[in-house]
Protein backbone atom coordinates (compact mmCIF):
# COMPACT_ATOMS: atom_id res chain seq x y z
CA UNK A 1 0.00 0.00 0.00
CA UNK A 2 1.34 3.43 -0.93
CA UNK A 3 2.02 5.50 2.19
CA UNK A 4 -0.37 8.37 2.76
CA UNK A 5 1.11 11.80 2.13
CA UNK A 6 -0.25 14.47 4.52
CA UNK A 7 -2.11 17.44 3.14
CA UNK A 8 -3.23 17.92 -0.44
CA UNK A 9 -1.28 17.86 -3.64
CA UNK A 10 -1.72 21.24 -5.32
CA UNK A 11 -3.16 20.81 -8.80
CA UNK A 12 -2.07 23.54 -11.18
CA UNK A 13 -2.60 22.10 -14.61
CA UNK A 14 -4.77 24.33 -16.83
CA UNK A 15 -7.52 21.72 -16.63
CA UNK A 16 -8.82 19.73 -14.93
CA UNK A 17 -8.72 22.09 -11.98
CA UNK A 18 -9.38 21.57 -8.24
CA UNK A 19 -13.00 21.06 -7.26
CA UNK A 20 -14.58 23.03 -4.40
CA UNK A 21 -16.06 20.98 -1.57
CA UNK A 22 -19.58 22.06 -2.56
CA UNK A 23 -19.00 20.62 -6.04
CA UNK A 24 -17.63 17.36 -4.63
CA UNK A 25 -20.70 17.09 -2.41
CA UNK A 26 -22.97 17.64 -5.43
CA UNK A 27 -21.24 14.78 -7.23
CA UNK A 28 -22.14 12.45 -4.36
CA UNK A 29 -25.90 12.87 -4.88
CA UNK A 30 -28.00 10.01 -6.17
CA UNK A 31 -29.17 10.38 -9.81
CA UNK A 32 -32.81 11.11 -10.55
CA UNK A 33 -35.53 9.74 -12.75
CA UNK A 34 -35.64 11.47 -16.14
CA UNK A 35 -39.12 12.76 -15.40
CA UNK A 36 -38.26 14.30 -12.03
CA UNK A 37 -38.94 18.06 -12.29
CA UNK A 38 -36.00 18.71 -9.96
CA UNK A 39 -33.68 17.45 -12.71
CA UNK A 40 -35.21 19.99 -15.08
CA UNK A 41 -34.57 22.68 -12.46
CA UNK A 42 -30.86 21.76 -12.25
CA UNK A 43 -30.51 21.91 -16.03
CA UNK A 44 -32.42 25.18 -16.24
CA UNK A 45 -30.20 26.78 -13.57
CA UNK A 46 -27.08 25.67 -15.47
CA UNK A 47 -28.40 27.12 -18.73
CA UNK A 48 -29.45 30.39 -17.11
CA UNK A 49 -26.16 30.74 -15.22
CA UNK A 50 -24.14 30.09 -18.36
CA UNK A 51 -26.14 32.76 -20.21
CA UNK A 52 -25.27 35.22 -17.46
CA UNK A 53 -21.58 34.31 -17.66
CA UNK A 54 -21.75 34.71 -21.44
CA UNK A 55 -23.74 37.94 -21.15
CA UNK A 56 -26.33 36.77 -23.66
CA UNK A 57 -30.09 37.15 -23.51
CA UNK A 58 -31.34 34.91 -26.29
CA UNK A 59 -28.69 32.35 -27.23
CA UNK A 60 -29.58 28.67 -26.95
CA UNK A 61 -27.28 26.80 -24.57
CA UNK A 62 -26.64 23.17 -25.50
CA UNK A 63 -24.90 20.78 -23.09
CA UNK A 64 -23.20 17.62 -24.32
CA UNK A 65 -21.77 14.62 -22.51
CA UNK A 66 -18.37 15.38 -24.04
CA UNK A 67 -15.17 17.37 -23.65
CA UNK A 68 -14.03 20.47 -25.54
CA UNK A 69 -13.25 18.42 -28.63
CA UNK A 70 -16.88 17.34 -28.59
CA UNK A 71 -17.90 21.00 -28.57
CA UNK A 72 -15.64 21.55 -31.60
CA UNK A 73 -17.31 18.67 -33.41
CA UNK A 74 -20.79 19.95 -32.59
CA UNK A 75 -19.90 23.30 -34.17
CA UNK A 76 -18.39 21.71 -37.27
CA UNK A 77 -21.24 19.22 -37.74
CA UNK A 78 -23.92 21.89 -37.51
CA UNK A 79 -22.36 24.80 -39.40
CA UNK A 80 -20.24 23.37 -42.20
CA UNK A 81 -21.08 21.25 -45.24
CA UNK A 82 -18.37 18.92 -46.46
CA UNK A 83 -15.93 20.12 -49.08
CA UNK A 84 -16.42 19.10 -52.70
CA UNK A 85 -14.45 16.20 -54.16
CA UNK A 86 -11.96 18.63 -55.72
CA UNK A 87 -11.36 20.30 -52.33
CA UNK A 88 -13.31 23.48 -53.16
CA UNK A 89 -16.54 24.78 -51.72
CA UNK A 90 -17.58 25.90 -48.22
CA UNK A 91 -14.76 26.54 -45.78
CA UNK A 92 -13.91 27.81 -42.32
CA UNK A 93 -11.14 30.25 -41.42
CA UNK A 94 -9.13 29.20 -38.34
CA UNK A 95 -6.52 31.82 -37.38
CA UNK A 96 -3.37 30.39 -35.84
CA UNK A 97 -3.01 30.66 -32.05
CA UNK A 98 -0.90 27.57 -31.40
CA UNK A 99 -1.58 23.93 -30.64
CA UNK A 100 -5.31 24.19 -30.10
CA UNK A 101 -6.17 26.21 -33.19
CA UNK A 102 -4.22 23.68 -35.24
CA UNK A 103 -5.92 20.77 -33.44
CA UNK A 104 -9.33 22.26 -34.23
CA UNK A 105 -8.27 22.67 -37.86
CA UNK A 106 -7.06 19.07 -38.08
CA UNK A 107 -10.28 17.78 -36.50
CA UNK A 108 -12.35 19.87 -38.91
CA UNK A 109 -10.44 18.49 -41.89
CA UNK A 110 -10.85 14.98 -40.47
CA UNK A 111 -14.60 15.54 -40.75
CA UNK A 112 -14.23 16.29 -44.46
CA UNK A 113 -14.48 20.07 -44.20
CA UNK A 114 -12.22 22.64 -45.85
CA UNK A 115 -10.04 24.82 -43.62
CA UNK A 116 -8.26 28.09 -44.37
CA UNK A 117 -5.52 28.97 -41.89
CA UNK A 118 -3.53 32.05 -41.01
CA UNK A 119 0.02 31.38 -39.77
CA UNK A 120 0.94 31.51 -36.11
CA UNK A 121 3.99 33.34 -34.86
CA UNK A 122 5.11 31.69 -31.62
CA UNK A 123 4.05 33.64 -28.58
CA UNK A 124 1.89 36.10 -30.50
CA UNK A 125 -1.90 36.41 -30.63
CA UNK A 126 -4.11 36.33 -33.71
CA UNK A 127 -3.36 39.24 -36.06
CA UNK A 128 -6.74 40.86 -36.86
CA UNK A 129 -5.28 42.38 -40.04
CA UNK A 130 -4.58 38.88 -41.38
CA UNK A 131 -8.16 37.83 -40.64
CA UNK A 132 -9.47 40.88 -42.46
CA UNK A 133 -7.20 40.25 -45.45
CA UNK A 134 -8.30 36.62 -45.83
CA UNK A 135 -11.97 37.57 -45.63
CA UNK A 136 -11.57 40.41 -48.15
CA UNK A 137 -9.89 38.00 -50.56
CA UNK A 138 -12.81 35.55 -50.26
CA UNK A 139 -15.02 37.34 -52.78
CA UNK A 140 -17.20 34.30 -53.36
CA UNK A 141 -17.92 34.05 -49.61
CA UNK A 142 -16.90 30.39 -49.40
CA UNK A 143 -15.85 30.96 -45.79
CA UNK A 144 -18.89 30.22 -43.64
CA UNK A 145 -17.36 31.07 -40.27
CA UNK A 146 -14.23 32.18 -38.43
CA UNK A 147 -13.26 29.80 -35.61
CA UNK A 148 -11.06 31.55 -33.04
CA UNK A 149 -9.44 30.10 -29.91
CA UNK A 150 -9.60 32.88 -27.34
CA UNK A 151 -6.97 31.43 -24.98
CA UNK A 152 -4.73 28.69 -26.32
CA UNK A 153 -4.11 26.44 -23.33
CA UNK A 154 -0.80 25.19 -24.73
CA UNK A 155 0.83 28.52 -25.52
CA UNK A 156 -1.11 30.63 -22.95
CA UNK A 157 -1.62 33.18 -25.72
CA UNK A 158 -4.83 35.20 -25.38
CA UNK A 159 -6.17 36.98 -28.46
CA UNK A 160 -8.28 40.13 -28.63
CA UNK A 161 -11.80 39.10 -29.61
CA UNK A 162 -13.08 42.67 -29.98
CA UNK A 163 -10.28 43.46 -32.43
CA UNK A 164 -11.05 40.34 -34.44
CA UNK A 165 -14.75 41.21 -34.51
CA UNK A 166 -13.85 44.70 -35.75
CA UNK A 167 -11.63 43.22 -38.46
CA UNK A 168 -14.44 40.95 -39.61
CA UNK A 169 -16.80 43.94 -39.74
CA UNK A 170 -14.26 45.99 -41.70
CA UNK A 171 -13.97 43.22 -44.29
CA UNK A 172 -17.69 43.31 -45.01
CA UNK A 173 -17.74 39.51 -45.02
CA UNK A 174 -20.85 37.68 -43.73
CA UNK A 175 -18.94 34.84 -42.00
CA UNK A 176 -20.11 33.84 -38.55
CA UNK A 177 -17.90 34.48 -35.52
CA UNK A 178 -17.27 31.35 -33.42
CA UNK A 179 -15.22 31.66 -30.21
CA UNK A 180 -13.58 28.87 -28.21
CA UNK A 181 -13.69 29.96 -24.54
CA UNK A 182 -12.81 26.54 -23.12
CA UNK A 183 -9.83 27.91 -21.21
CA UNK A 184 -11.25 31.32 -20.35
CA UNK A 185 -14.98 31.24 -19.59
CA UNK A 186 -15.17 32.21 -15.93
CA UNK A 187 -11.72 33.82 -16.05
CA UNK A 188 -12.58 36.98 -17.93
CA UNK A 189 -15.56 38.72 -19.42
CA UNK A 190 -17.25 37.23 -22.48
CA UNK A 191 -19.95 39.66 -23.67
CA UNK A 192 -21.39 37.37 -26.33
CA UNK A 193 -24.22 39.66 -27.44
CA UNK A 194 -22.18 42.89 -27.37
CA UNK A 195 -19.34 41.20 -29.24
CA UNK A 196 -21.83 39.72 -31.71
CA UNK A 197 -20.26 36.30 -31.35
CA UNK A 198 -22.58 33.83 -33.05
CA UNK A 199 -21.34 30.75 -31.20
CA UNK A 200 -19.31 30.43 -28.00
CA UNK A 201 -18.13 27.07 -26.74
CA UNK A 202 -16.67 25.98 -23.40
CA UNK A 203 -16.20 22.96 -21.16
CA UNK A 204 -16.83 22.13 -17.53
CA UNK A 205 -13.37 21.24 -16.25
CA UNK A 206 -11.49 24.53 -16.18
CA UNK A 207 -12.59 27.83 -14.63
CA UNK A 208 -16.14 26.53 -14.25
CA UNK A 209 -14.79 24.30 -11.42
CA UNK A 210 -16.68 21.13 -12.38
CA UNK A 211 -15.34 17.71 -13.39
CA UNK A 212 -14.49 16.91 -17.00
CA UNK A 213 -17.42 15.62 -19.01
CA UNK A 214 -19.66 18.50 -20.10
CA UNK A 215 -19.21 20.43 -23.33
CA UNK A 216 -21.07 23.75 -23.62
CA UNK A 217 -22.15 25.40 -26.87
CA UNK A 218 -24.08 28.70 -26.91
CA UNK A 219 -25.72 29.44 -30.27
CA UNK A 220 -27.40 32.62 -31.52
CA UNK A 221 -30.23 32.85 -34.05
CA UNK A 222 -27.97 33.41 -37.07
CA UNK A 223 -25.88 30.34 -36.30
CA UNK A 224 -28.97 28.24 -35.66
CA UNK A 225 -30.43 29.35 -39.00
CA UNK A 226 -27.22 28.37 -40.81
CA UNK A 227 -27.36 24.98 -39.10
CA UNK A 228 -30.93 24.52 -40.28
CA UNK A 229 -29.80 25.12 -43.89
CA UNK A 230 -26.85 22.73 -43.62
CA UNK A 231 -27.73 19.55 -45.57
CA UNK A 232 -25.15 17.36 -43.84
CA UNK A 233 -26.49 14.41 -41.80
CA UNK A 234 -25.86 14.48 -38.07
CA UNK A 235 -27.74 13.23 -35.05
CA UNK A 236 -26.04 13.31 -31.65
CA UNK A 237 -24.59 16.78 -32.29
CA UNK A 238 -27.71 18.21 -33.99
CA UNK A 239 -28.84 21.48 -32.44
CA UNK A 240 -32.31 21.08 -33.93
CA UNK A 241 -32.92 17.85 -32.00
CA UNK A 242 -31.59 19.27 -28.74
CA UNK A 243 -33.77 22.38 -28.74
CA UNK A 244 -36.34 20.81 -26.43
CA UNK A 245 -37.96 21.33 -23.06
CA UNK A 246 -37.55 17.62 -22.29
CA UNK A 247 -34.34 16.82 -20.43
CA UNK A 248 -33.96 13.43 -22.10
CA UNK A 249 -34.03 15.09 -25.54
CA UNK A 250 -31.73 17.92 -24.48
CA UNK A 251 -29.01 15.29 -24.05
CA UNK A 252 -30.03 12.97 -26.88
CA UNK A 253 -30.58 10.34 -24.21
CA UNK A 254 -29.45 10.02 -20.61
CA UNK A 255 -27.64 13.10 -19.44
CA UNK A 256 -24.56 13.10 -17.14
CA UNK A 257 -26.67 14.01 -14.14
CA UNK A 258 -24.00 14.19 -11.47
CA UNK A 259 -21.83 16.48 -13.55
CA UNK A 260 -24.91 18.64 -14.09
CA UNK A 261 -25.41 18.77 -10.32
CA UNK A 262 -21.75 19.71 -9.95
CA UNK A 263 -21.91 22.46 -12.57
CA UNK A 264 -25.06 23.83 -10.94
CA UNK A 265 -23.21 24.03 -7.62
CA UNK A 266 -20.14 25.60 -9.23
CA UNK A 267 -22.12 28.30 -11.02
CA UNK A 268 -23.82 29.08 -7.72
CA UNK A 269 -20.40 29.59 -6.11
CA UNK A 270 -19.26 31.87 -8.94
CA UNK A 271 -22.38 34.00 -8.64
CA UNK A 272 -22.18 34.10 -4.85
CA UNK A 273 -18.63 35.45 -5.08
CA UNK A 274 -19.69 37.81 -7.87
CA UNK A 275 -18.69 37.42 -11.51
CA UNK A 276 -16.70 40.66 -11.55
CA UNK A 277 -14.89 39.60 -8.37
CA UNK A 278 -14.09 36.21 -9.90
CA UNK A 279 -12.54 37.91 -12.92
CA UNK A 280 -10.54 40.25 -10.68
CA UNK A 281 -9.30 37.32 -8.58
CA UNK A 282 -8.05 35.53 -11.69
CA UNK A 283 -6.27 38.68 -12.84
CA UNK A 284 -4.53 39.05 -9.47
CA UNK A 285 -3.42 35.41 -9.37
CA UNK A 286 -2.18 35.56 -12.95
CA UNK A 287 -0.24 38.70 -12.07
CA UNK A 288 1.50 36.87 -9.24
CA UNK A 289 2.53 34.00 -11.52
CA UNK A 290 3.81 36.39 -14.17
CA UNK A 291 5.75 38.27 -11.49
CA UNK A 292 7.37 35.01 -10.38
CA UNK A 293 8.36 34.20 -13.96
CA UNK A 294 9.84 37.69 -14.20
CA UNK A 295 12.09 36.82 -11.26
CA UNK A 296 12.98 33.31 -12.46
CA UNK A 297 13.95 34.50 -15.92
CA UNK A 298 16.80 36.68 -14.64
CA UNK A 299 19.22 33.71 -14.72
CA UNK A 300 18.54 33.08 -18.40
CA UNK A 301 17.15 29.51 -18.45
CA UNK A 302 13.46 30.39 -18.17
CA UNK A 303 11.34 33.02 -19.89
CA UNK A 304 7.80 34.03 -20.78
CA UNK A 305 6.40 32.20 -23.81
CA UNK A 306 3.60 34.65 -24.69
CA UNK A 307 4.53 38.23 -25.48
CA UNK A 308 3.46 41.00 -23.12
CA UNK A 309 -0.12 42.02 -23.75
CA UNK A 310 -1.10 38.52 -24.91
CA UNK A 311 -0.57 36.61 -21.64
CA UNK A 312 -3.72 34.93 -20.43
CA UNK A 313 -5.23 35.06 -16.96
CA UNK A 314 -5.91 31.31 -17.14
CA UNK A 315 -2.51 29.72 -17.63
CA UNK A 316 1.11 30.80 -17.99
CA UNK A 317 3.47 28.98 -20.34
CA UNK A 318 7.17 29.28 -19.49
CA UNK A 319 9.80 28.75 -22.16
CA UNK A 320 12.83 26.69 -21.02
CA UNK A 321 16.44 26.38 -22.14
CA UNK A 322 16.99 23.50 -24.63
CA UNK A 323 19.14 21.48 -22.23
CA UNK A 324 16.62 21.59 -19.37
CA UNK A 325 14.83 18.32 -18.52
CA UNK A 326 11.44 19.67 -17.57
CA UNK A 327 10.00 16.23 -16.84
CA UNK A 328 12.60 15.78 -14.09
CA UNK A 329 11.55 19.10 -12.58
CA UNK A 330 7.87 18.15 -12.80
CA UNK A 331 8.55 14.82 -11.08
CA UNK A 332 10.45 16.45 -8.21
CA UNK A 333 7.75 19.10 -7.82
CA UNK A 334 4.96 16.52 -7.82
CA UNK A 335 6.50 13.77 -5.69
CA UNK A 336 8.66 15.75 -3.26
CA UNK A 337 6.85 19.07 -2.98
CA UNK A 338 3.28 17.98 -3.84
CA UNK A 339 2.81 20.49 -6.65
CA UNK A 340 1.44 19.23 -9.97
CA UNK A 341 1.88 21.47 -12.99
CA UNK A 342 1.75 20.80 -16.72
CA UNK A 343 4.44 20.19 -19.30
CA UNK A 344 4.54 21.61 -22.79
CA UNK A 345 1.92 20.45 -25.27
CA UNK A 346 2.06 19.95 -29.03
CA UNK A 347 4.92 21.94 -30.56
CA UNK A 348 5.93 23.11 -27.07
CA UNK A 349 6.56 19.57 -25.78
CA UNK A 350 9.96 19.52 -24.09
CA UNK A 351 10.34 23.25 -24.66
CA UNK A 352 8.07 24.70 -22.01
CA UNK A 353 6.00 24.08 -18.89
CA UNK A 354 2.65 25.51 -17.86
CA UNK A 355 1.16 26.75 -14.60
CA UNK A 356 -2.63 26.84 -14.40
CA UNK A 357 -4.10 29.57 -12.20
CA UNK A 358 -7.79 29.25 -12.91
CA UNK A 359 -10.86 27.98 -11.12
CA UNK A 360 -11.01 27.39 -7.37
CA UNK A 361 -7.68 29.07 -6.57
CA UNK A 362 -6.59 31.60 -3.97
CA UNK A 363 -3.35 33.47 -3.15
CA UNK A 364 -2.15 30.86 -0.64
CA UNK A 365 -2.48 28.10 -3.23
CA UNK A 366 -0.65 30.14 -5.84
CA UNK A 367 2.18 31.04 -3.46
CA UNK A 368 2.50 27.42 -2.33
CA UNK A 369 2.66 26.27 -5.94
CA UNK A 370 5.24 28.85 -6.94
CA UNK A 371 7.36 27.95 -3.91
CA UNK A 372 7.13 24.25 -4.77
CA UNK A 373 8.19 24.91 -8.35
CA UNK A 374 11.05 27.15 -7.26
CA UNK A 375 12.20 24.47 -4.83
CA UNK A 376 12.08 21.86 -7.60
CA UNK A 377 14.12 24.14 -9.86
CA UNK A 378 16.70 24.43 -7.11
CA UNK A 379 16.85 20.67 -6.48
CA UNK A 380 17.28 20.02 -10.22
CA UNK A 381 20.03 22.61 -10.57
CA UNK A 382 18.11 24.92 -12.89
CA UNK A 383 19.49 28.43 -12.82
CA UNK A 384 16.80 30.86 -11.72
CA UNK A 385 16.28 34.15 -9.97
CA UNK A 386 13.92 34.64 -7.06
CA UNK A 387 10.28 34.42 -8.05
CA UNK A 388 8.73 34.44 -4.61
CA UNK A 389 9.49 38.01 -3.62
CA UNK A 390 7.97 39.47 -6.81
CA UNK A 391 4.93 37.16 -6.53
CA UNK A 392 4.28 38.21 -2.93
CA UNK A 393 4.71 41.88 -3.84
CA UNK A 394 2.28 41.47 -6.75
CA UNK A 395 -0.40 39.92 -4.54
CA UNK A 396 0.14 42.46 -1.79
CA UNK A 397 -0.34 45.28 -4.29
CA UNK A 398 -3.43 43.63 -5.80
CA UNK A 399 -5.02 43.30 -2.35
158-196 residue pLDDT tens: 999 999 999 999 999 999 999 999 999 999 999 999 999
Rounding to the nearest 10 degrees, give the CA dihedral for residues 299, 296, 392, 367.
-140
Residue 203 lies in a domain: yes
> What are the backbone angles phi and psi of residue 301, rounded to the nearest 5°?
-100, -10
- Band of pLDDT at residue 9, cut at 50, 70 and 90: confident
Q: Are 162 and 288 in the same domain?
A: no
Average pLDDT over residues 96-102: 95
Check whether residue 245 and residue 314 sit in a common domain. Answer: no
What pLDDT does 399 receive? 67
Q: Which one, of 7, 24, 6, 10, lies nearest residue 285 by Cα?
A: 10
Per-residue pLDDT, averaged over 6-26, amounts to 91
Cβ neighbourhood burial of 340 (10 Å; 0-12, 13-18, 19+): middle
**287 and 378, same domain (yes or no):** yes
The whole-number average pLDDT for the span 46-54 is 98
| pTM above threshold 0.85 | yes
283 and 192 share one domain: no
Q: How many domains does the chain contain in total? A: 2
Q: What is the pLDDT of residue 19?
A: 96
Same structural domain for residues 248 and 309?
no
Is 97 a residue whose pLDDT tops 80? yes
Helix and strand numbers (H, E) in the chain are: 15, 12
Q: What is the pLDDT of residues 51-91, one digit of tens each?
A: 999 999 999 999 999 999 999 999 999 999 999 888 888 99
Judgement on whether residues 40 and 188 belong to the same structural domain of the protein: yes
pLDDT band at 265 (very low <50, low <70, confident <90, very high): very high
Distance between CA 99 and CA 209 in Å, rounded?
23
Taking residues 10-16, report their average pLDDT: 90
Q: Given this model, what pLDDT does residue 87 score?
A: 83
CA distances from 365 to 9, 133, 252, 339, 357 (A): 10, 44, 39, 10, 9
- Across the range 281-295, mean pLDDT stands at 98
pLDDT of residue 1: 56
Confirm whether 2 is domain-assigned: no
- pLDDT tens for each residue of 210-257: 999 999 999 999 999 999 999 999 999 999 999 998 888 999 999 999
Q: How far apart are CA 109 and CA 118, in angstroms?
A: 15
Domain annotation covers residue 8:
no
Average pLDDT in the 274-281 region? 98
- Distance CA(53)–CA(59), nearest Å, equals 12
Render pLDDT for 320-339 as a digit per residue (tens, 0 to 9): 999 999 999 999 999 999 99
**Quick one: 204 and 126 in the same domain?**
yes
Backbone φ, ψ for residue 122 (5° rounding): -50, 130
DSSP-derived pairing of the beta strands 199-203 and 176-180: parallel
Amino acid sequence: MTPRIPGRRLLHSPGPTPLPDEVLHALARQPMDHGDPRLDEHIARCEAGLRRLLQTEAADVFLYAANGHGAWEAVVANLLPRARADGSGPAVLIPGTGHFSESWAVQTEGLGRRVVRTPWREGYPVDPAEVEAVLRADRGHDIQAVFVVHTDTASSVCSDMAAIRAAMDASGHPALFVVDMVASLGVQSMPMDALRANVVLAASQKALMAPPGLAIVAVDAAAFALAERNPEPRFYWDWRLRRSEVSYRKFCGTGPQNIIFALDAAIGLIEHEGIAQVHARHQALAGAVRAAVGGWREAGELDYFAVEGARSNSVTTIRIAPELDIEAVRTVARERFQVAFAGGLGPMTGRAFRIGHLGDQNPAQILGTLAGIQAALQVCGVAHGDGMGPAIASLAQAA
